[in-house]
């Protein structure tokens, strides 16, 4: 494989990592932007999605089984998001640091629960046969293989981003969501039920994370700690992206994914981690509010 | 003035008695429990720092393990070198094929340098990070997440740079400190008293820090950062200094912990241990220094007992602790204590103290409204 092939391969890897990060960070960014809530158990939504799709694929082993698994993962984590919001998040409104700690506790319980149920060793979701194989490149990029699975993940991430954008831009709930995002008190005064909006945002974010976990299961085994390995990067994406902006989150996911995979060409994985953190800290020196800044005359609390 | 003096006297008396009881612990506890108590008291120093940073400064750090680790590794590097014959290399360096000692390792031959580094490295690192983040007015949840990323990066870095850090196993197999063999029971006892003395010293120092103008401004920044800006204060330097003090406490704790346990490894500095440190403080009551110590002791003794009986249960318990403390007891055990004290008073201590003046009650009430008093 030529020099160009290696670099193109890393870029492709970066984009596919970025797609999973995007799916994982979307819910975080939305609930942080709208509710000012950081959900530390968000990584466990990935894990839950992964295990749910594993179970669904066990029940329905056919070629369409994985599509059902995607739906199950989304629905299951969506419902779990509803539960979590009603039982915990809504009671801690206005105390973001405390929410962070309580949800961390929930993530510990979920991890240990998964360990007790499924064991510490990962379970595999076998990709359906229509995702086996890869696109081979010719010419200057000869030798570069783009596996269908990774292409599928990229397409899914773009599709989900598009659907969420449509939901926010075109539907009535999207309108309410934007209103609450811009000015919570005013929206409330005008009759928007902010509690329901919070619930919808949170559950939707959890559902999207469940999808991320489901596709993640295609490329690596589902373990009780699978969420932990992605969630810190997802948080960095939220920091770089800016408060609750879809465009910012997408750009930030791409940046973080490409940075970490291209840094890995030059250094080791662990040094790439450190450099990524350094880059994020440098980045907030220049744009402390992220890529996309919400313009407002209010003083942030 | 008179009543204040009396209060001080009775408080000093209570602290004195407690200190004496703890100092006598090696004579009535089993040696296993004393060694546990010693390391938990060392960890309490970190908790004191975290209480200052989080409870009084409103800065949640999920990366306190990093500063703990810096202190621990600084002292461990010295101990590792002290155990070697001149010219020899630490065992893990030999295994990974290093042929000479890196320069930044050899300076740790010097005991004084190692002791200074165990405090200076973590506090400078903490100050640097805090300044980079706070001077751009980034704070709150962002800072918590950045410190968590720091803990992740530090942990993976330690594991991957095996030829410099001993990798996953960390640094262990120490000989002696200042010529005292670490395995000797007499050294252990001395170390226990040293830890207790340092804990008392840090406790008193932080009490004093909180009583100064700096402490009051720090609290004011916690409760209304923008309000302080309008009053002409720049919050960043105050938060940086507070975080640096927290880092120094963590470094001292890490160094003492390493001496007690005889090992420091990435397993003690990563994301999970770092956030575990927050629960010590949360259980005791985040804005109570005494609570931080009590919380650390309770949580860690609980962890020791539960995980030796039912290893699977501990993570469930810790998870529930986080949820319950945050949702039901945001002020931790010290919150319960203060309520009980205001309802019933310390009747059995009444003779040491004059009836408290109304201002006293006012102070606890202000505490009670936090964090419920703020709606943002």
Would you place residue A173 in the very low, low, confident or very high pLDDT band (cuts 50, 70, 90)? very high
- Could you tell me which of B242, B249, B241, B267 has the C-alpha nearest to residue B122? B249
* C-beta of residue B55 within 8 angstroms of C-beta of residue B218: no
Beta strands in chain B (DSSP E): 171-172, 176-177, 180-181, 263-264
The structural domains of chain B, with segments of one domain joined by +, span 33-368
Give the model confidence (pLDDT) of B302-329 as tens digits: 999 998 888 888 889 989 988 988 888 8
- Could you tell me which of B238, B288, B247 has the C-alpha nearest to residue B154? B247
- Name chain B contacts of A270, Cβ cutoff 8 Å: 153, 156-157, 159-161
Q: What angle do CA A148, A150, A156 make, to 5 degrees?
A: 100
Question: What is the structure's pLDDT at B361?
Answer: 40
Question: What is the structure's pLDDT at B368?
Answer: 42
B261 burial (CB, 10 Å; 0-12 / 13-18 / 19+) is middle
* C-beta of residue B257 within 8 angstroms of C-beta of residue B72: yes
Q: What is the largest CA-CA distance in chain A?
A: 62
CATH of A3-286 among 1.10.8, 2.40.50, 1.10.3470, 2.60.40: 1.10.3470
Give the model confidence (pLDDT) of B25-69 as tens digits: 888 888 888 889 999 999 999 999 999 999 999 999 999 999 999
Smallest Cβ–Cβ distance between A104 and the set B226, B275, B330 belongs to B275
Question: What is the structure's pLDDT at A176?
Answer: 93
- Could you tell me which of A43, A92, A295, A292 has the C-alpha nearest to residue B145? A43
Question: What is the structure's pLDDT at A262?
Answer: 81
Beta strands in chain A (DSSP E): 134-136, 145-147
Minimum mean pLDDT among A25-39, A94-108, B180-194, B272-286: which range? B180-194
Would you place residue A244 in the very low, low, confident or very high pLDDT band (cuts 50, 70, 90)? low
Q: Does A228 touch chain B (CB under 8 A)?
A: yes
Would you place residue B375 in the very low, low, confident or very high pLDDT band (cuts 50, 70, 90)? very low
Would you place residue A83 in the very low, low, confident or very high pLDDT band (cuts 50, 70, 90)? very high
Would you place residue B4 in the very low, low, confident or very high pLDDT band (cuts 50, 70, 90)? low
- Name chain B contacts of A232, Cβ cutoff 8 Å: 148-149, 152, 271
3-state secondary structure A181-230: HHCHHHHHHCCCCHHHHHHHHHHHHHHHHHHHHHHHHHHCCECCCHHHHH
Q: Where are the alpha helices (DSSP H) in B83-184?
A: 91-95, 103-106, 111-134, 141-160, 162-165
Assess whether pLDDT exceeds 60 at residue B75. Answer: yes
Assess whether pLDDT exceeds 80 at residue B362. Answer: no
Q: What is the CA radius of gyration of chain B?
A: 22
Question: What is the structure's pLDDT at B357?
Answer: 46
Measured CA to CA, the distance from residue A232 to residue A240 in angstroms comes to 12
Q: Does A68 touch chain B (CB under 8 A)?
A: no
Predicted ipTM of the assembly: 0.83
- Name chain B contacts of A301, Cβ cutoff 8 Å: 226, 376
Kindly state the DSSP code that residue B352 receives in the 8-state scheme: G
Q: Does A238 touch chain B (CB under 8 A)?
A: yes
From the CA of A238, how many Å to the nearest CA of chain B?
Answer: 9
From the CA of A284, how many Å to the nearest CA of chain B?
Answer: 7
Kindly state the DSSP code that residue B357 receives in the 8-state scheme: P
Assess whether pLDDT exceeds 60 at residue B267. Answer: yes
Assess whether pLDDT exceeds 50 at residue B21. Answer: yes
- Could you tell me which of B296, B371, B301, B288 has the C-alpha nearest to residue B337? B288
Q: Does A91 touch chain B (CB under 8 A)?
A: yes
Helix, strand and coil percent figures for chain A, each rounded to 5? 75, 5, 20
- Which of the pair, B84 or B255, is modelled with greater confidence? B255
Question: What is the structure's pLDDT at B346?
Answer: 56
Instruction: Scan residues 39-58 of A and list those with Cβ closer than 8 Å to B.
Output: none
From the CA of B327, how many Å to the nearest CA of chain A?
Answer: 7
From the CA of B134, how many Å to the nearest CA of chain A?
Answer: 10
In b/e form, how buried is each residue of A164-188, taking b as 16+ CB within 10 angstroms?
A: beeebeeeeebebbebbbeebeebe
Question: What is the structure's pLDDT at A266?
Answer: 77
Smallest Cβ–Cβ distance between B322 and the set A36, A104, A239 belongs to A104
Question: What is the structure's pLDDT at B29?
Answer: 87
Would you place residue B123 in the very low, low, confident or very high pLDDT band (cuts 50, 70, 90)? very high
Strands B263-264 and B171-172, how do they pair? antiparallel
Give the model confidence (pLDDT) of B185-212 as tens digits: 888 889 999 999 999 999 999 999 999 9
Question: What is the structure's pLDDT at B366?
Answer: 39
Compute CA distances B89 → A123, B80, B158, B159, B161, whole Å: 43, 9, 19, 19, 16
CB contact under 8 Å between B145 and A104, yes or no, is no
- The kind and range of the H/E element at B320 are helix B313-327
The structural domains of chain A, with segments of one domain joined by +, span 3-286
Instruction: Scan residues 137-196 of A and list those with Cβ closer than 8 Å to B.
Output: none
- The kind and range of the H/E element at A49 are helix A42-59
- Say whether B166 sits in a helix, a strand or coil: coil
CB contact under 8 Å between B312 and A116, yes or no, is yes
- Name chain A contacts of B60, Cβ cutoff 8 Å: 97, 100-101
> Percentage of chain A with pLDDT > 90?
41
Give the model confidence (pLDDT) of A5-25 as tens digits: 777 888 888 898 899 899 999
- Name chain A contacts of B159, Cβ cutoff 8 Å: 270
Assess whether pLDDT exceeds 60 at residue B363. Answer: no
**N-terminal to C-terminal alpha carbon distance within chain B:** 39
- Which of the pair, B343 or A13, is modelled with greater confidence? A13
CB contact under 8 Å between A270 and B316, yes or no, is no
CA B3: distance to chain centroid?
33
CB contact under 8 Å between A97 and B152, yes or no, is no
CB contact under 8 Å between B319 and A228, yes or no, is no
What's the whole-number mean pLDDT along residues B260-281? 91
Give the model confidence (pLDDT) of B278-289 as tens digits: 999 999 888 889
Phi then psi dihedrals of residue A77, to 5 deg: -70, -30
Compute CA distances A43 → A38, B101, B217, B367, B373, whole Å: 11, 41, 37, 34, 31
pTM: 0.86
> Percentage of chain A with pLDDT > 70?
95
What's the whole-number mean pLDDT along residues B254-283? 92
Question: What is the structure's pLDDT at A160?
Answer: 94
Average pLDDT, chain B: 85
- Say whether B176 sits in a helix, a strand or coil: strand
What's the whole-number mean pLDDT along residues B103-129? 92
Q: Does A117 touch chain B (CB under 8 A)?
A: no
Question: What is the structure's pLDDT at B51?
Answer: 95
Measured CA to CA, the distance from residue A151 to residue A167 in angstroms comes to 24
- Name chain B contacts of A293, Cβ cutoff 8 Å: none
Q: Does A260 touch chain B (CB under 8 A)?
A: no
Give the model confidence (pLDDT) of A185-233 as tens digits: 899 999 999 999 999 999 999 999 999 999 999 888 999 988 888 888 8
Angle, helices A3-35 vs A226-241, to 10°: value is 80
Q: Does A223 touch chain B (CB under 8 A)?
A: no
* C-beta of residue B258 within 8 angstroms of C-beta of residue B39: no
From the CA of A1, how many Å to the nearest CA of chain B?
Answer: 28
């Amino acid at each position: 494989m030529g020099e160009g092939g290696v670099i193109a391969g890393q870029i492709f890897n970066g984009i596919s990592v970025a797609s999973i990060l995007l799916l994982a960070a979307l819910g975080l960014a939305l609930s942080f932007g709208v509710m000012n809530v950081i959900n530390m158990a968000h990584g466990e939504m990935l894990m839950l999605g992964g295990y749910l799709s594993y179970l669904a694929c066990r029940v329905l082993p056919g070629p369409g089984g994985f599509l059902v698994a995607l739906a199950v993962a989304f629905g299951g984590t969506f419902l779990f998001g509803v539960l979590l919001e009603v039982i915990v998040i809504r009671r801690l409104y206005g105390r973001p640091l405390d929410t962070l700690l309580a949800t961390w506790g929930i993530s510990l319980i979920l991890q240990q629960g998964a360990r007790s149920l499924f064991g510490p060793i990962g379970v595999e979701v076998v990709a359906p046969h229509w995702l086996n194989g890869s696109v081979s490149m010719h010419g200057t990029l000869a030798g570069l293989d783009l596996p269908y699975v990774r292409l599928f993940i990229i397409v899914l991430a773009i599709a989900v981003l598009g659907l969420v954008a449509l939901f926010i831009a075109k539907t009535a709930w999207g309108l309410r969501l934007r209103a609450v995002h811009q000015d919570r008190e005013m929206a409330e005064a005008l009759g928007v039920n902010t509690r329901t909006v919070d619930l919808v945002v949170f559950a939707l974010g959890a559902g999207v994370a469940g999808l991320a976990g489901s596709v993640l299961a295609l490329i690596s085994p589902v373990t009780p700690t699978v969420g932990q390995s992605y969630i810190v990067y997802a948080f960095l994406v939220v920091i770089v992206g800016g408060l609750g902006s879809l465009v910012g989150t997408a750009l930030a996911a791409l940046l973080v994914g490409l940075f970490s995979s291209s840094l890995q060409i030059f250094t080791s994985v662990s040094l790439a981690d450190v450099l990524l953190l350094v880059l994020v800290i440098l980045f907030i020196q220049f744009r402390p509010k992220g890529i996309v800044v919400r313009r407002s005359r209010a003083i942030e609390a | 003035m008179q009543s204040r003096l009396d209060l001080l006297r009775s408080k000093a008396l209570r602290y004195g008695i407690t200190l004496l009881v703890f100092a006598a612990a090696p004579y009535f506890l089993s040696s296993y429990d004393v060694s546990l108590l010693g390391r938990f008291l060392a960890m309490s120093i970190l908790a004191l720092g975290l209480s200052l940073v989080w409870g009084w400064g409103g800065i949640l750090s999920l990366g306190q393990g990093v500063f703990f680790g810096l202190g621990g590794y600084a002292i461990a590097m010295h101990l590792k070198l002290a155990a070697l014959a001149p010219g020899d290399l630490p065992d893990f360096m030999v295994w990974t094929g290093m042929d000479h000692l890196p320069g930044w390792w050899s300076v740790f031959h010097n005991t004084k340098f190692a002791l200074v580094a165990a405090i200076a490295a973590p506090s400078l690192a903490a100050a640097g990070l805090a300044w980079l983040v706070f001077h751009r007015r980034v704070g709150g949840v962002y800072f918590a997440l950045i410190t968590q990323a720091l803990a992740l990066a530090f942990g993976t870095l330690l594991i991957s740079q095996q030829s410099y850090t001993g990798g996953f196993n960390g640094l262990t197999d120490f000989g002696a400190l200042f010529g005292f063999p670490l395995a000797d029971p007499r050294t252990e006892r001395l170390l226990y008293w040293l830890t207790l003395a340092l804990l008392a010293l840090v406790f008193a120092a932080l009490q004093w820090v909180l009583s100064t103008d700096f402490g009051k401004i720090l609290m004011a920044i916690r409760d209304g950062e923008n309000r302080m800006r309008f009053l002409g204060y720049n919050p960043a330097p105050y938060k940086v200094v507070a975080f640096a003090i927290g880092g120094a406490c963590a470094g001292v704790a890490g160094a003492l912990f390493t001496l007690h346990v005889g090992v420091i490894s990435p397993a003690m500095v990563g994301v999970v241990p770092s956030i575990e440190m927050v629960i010590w403080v949360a259980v005791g009551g985040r804005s109570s220094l005494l609570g931080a110590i009590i919380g650390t002791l309770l949580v860690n003794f609980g962890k020791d007992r539960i995980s030796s009986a039912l290893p699977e249960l501990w993570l469930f318990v810790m998870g529930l602790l986080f949820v319950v403390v945050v949702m039901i007891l945001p002020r931790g055990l010290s919150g319960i204590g203060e309520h009980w004290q205001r309802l019933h008073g310390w009747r059995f201590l009444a003779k040491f103290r004059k009836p408290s003046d109304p201002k006293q009650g006012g102070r606890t009430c202000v505490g009670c409204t936090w964090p419920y008093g703020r709606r943002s």
